Amino acid sequence: MDLKEALSEYLTGQRSVLLMKLDGLSERELRLPRTPTGTNLLGIVKHCMNVEYGYFGPTFGRTIDDPNGLVEDDAYDDDPQADWYATADETVEGIRETYARVQEFCDQTIAASDLDAPGRVPWWGERGDVTLGQIMVHVIQDLARHAGQADILREQVDGAVGFMSPGDNLPEIDFPAYVAKLTALADRF
Amino acid identity of residue 66, one-letter, is: D
For the stretch 134-170, pLDDT in tens is 999 999 999 999 999 999 999 999 888 876 666 667 7
Percentage of the chain surpassing pLDDT 90? Answer: 90
Write down the pLDDT at residue 160.
83
Rounded Cα distance between 150 and 156, Å, is: 10
> Rounded to a whole number, what is the distance in angstroms from the first to the last CA of the chain?
49
- 133 burial (CB, 10 Å; 0-12 / 13-18 / 19+) is middle
Domains of the chain: 3-187 (1.20.120.450)
Least confident of 73-82, 107-116, 164-173: 164-173
Write down the pLDDT at residue 170.
79
Give residues with Cβ within 8 angstroms of 142, minimum separation 6.
Answer: 48, 51
pLDDT of 188 above 80:
yes
How many residues are listed for the chain in this entry? 189
pLDDT of 12 above 70:
yes
Least confident of 21-30, 37-46, 50-59, 163-172: 163-172
